[in-house]
Structure 1
């Protein structure tokens, strides 16, 4: 069900989903949050941990209005991903011998529709793998802006709140991400 509610005083009203409970919200956002975390962390188990941690932290906010849950959840998840990235860089810096580079790309999740034929499923997996690779090549802020605006379909104001930056910064990061992805994925269209 959609209702129109003001997000903050002075902001325009917009249609925001209202969930029956926080559990319903988390169930709906879970798969998308996992894909977002996996693109940022490049490791399935770390992505699962980040999403689970963000969901656990959301329990403290269950009394907040449902309209606040979306930017709050994405902000919590984003901060958790950044924390995990910093820890991984720190560990890698101290544990890896100089010059030793290990391929960080793990097997991607197969999001292909099981009802399609083998050739089409293969093409979808390849296209998805190229998209994930292109997203991983983007700077973190551009990747976040693109994922939240395009995949999650959040508006600019909500994305800005989730990312902790201005609306203009969101638009700039999104524009740069689109240009970079377009040049990297021209042959996939």
Structure 2
């Protein structure tokens, strides 16, 4: 009986030590990546960027033991932010479609996070980026805002590197057309 109790105590101590290591690693990642991830979510069109990033860190914390390696955590966070933003935008589109049908027409109102992150001189570009299809917008933001390689963008978006090239190319062409029209 005493041996079983000792084994159980050692197992609890090992789990407590692992949890402490996980908490420290996630806290360090939070310090480094929180603001860039909020900016990423805003640029991808999230109206609740802070909530998206908080959910991403929660998912990282829950899935920490299943990560390939601690170095994969930043890539995982970006991927979760992209996917959560995509899901929330789809949800908002459905809500707005139903609101429009019922005659309840609400205009888009920028969140405080968006207004704090964006300066006036960036608004024209951000408006043009927002007008892009979701996949093109995501590919451009990941490529030029976060300066990720095609393989990293493909991982974050869940597509092939060739598809990334297509989305970036089409997005750049569309942005060029829109910005030329504004001149």
Query: TM-score scaled to structure 2, two decimals?
Result: 0.73
Aligned residues, how many? 156
- Structure 2 gap segments, 5+ residues each: 1-23
Answering whether residue 162 of structure 2 is matched by residue 171 of structure 1, we say no
- 1:61 is matched with which residue? 63
Single out whichever of 174-183 and 164-173 deviates more from structure 2: 174-183
Q: Please, what is the CA RMSD of the aligned residues?
A: 2.6
- 1:48 is matched with which residue? 50
Answering whether residue 74 of structure 2 is matched by residue 70 of structure 1, we say yes
Q: Secondary structure at the match of 1:21?
A: helix
Whose helix proportion is higher, 1 or 2? 2
Single out whichever of 97-106 and 133-142 deviates more from structure 2: 97-106
- 2:25 is matched with which residue? 21
Distance 1:180 1:99 in 2: 32
Tell me if the contact between 2:46 and 2:89 (Cα under 8 Å) persists in the aligned partners. Answer: no
Query: TM-score scaled to structure 1, two decimals?
Result: 0.71
Q: Secondary structure at the match of 2:55?
A: helix
Tell me if the contact between 2:44 and 2:141 (Cα under 8 Å) persists in the aligned partners. Answer: no
Structure 1 position 182, deviation (Å): 2.4
Tell me if the contact between 1:42 and 1:105 (Cα under 8 Å) persists in the aligned partners. Answer: no
Distance 1:93 1:50 in 2: 22
Structure 1 residues 186 and 96: CA distance shift in structure 2, 3 A: closer
Distance 2:27 2:153 in 1: 22
Whose strand proportion is higher, 1 or 2? 1
- Structure 1 gap segments, 5+ residues each: 1-19, 113-124
Tell me if the contact between 1:135 and 1:143 (Cα under 8 Å) persists in the aligned partners. Answer: yes
Structure 1 residues 188 and 71: CA distance shift in structure 2, 3 A: farther
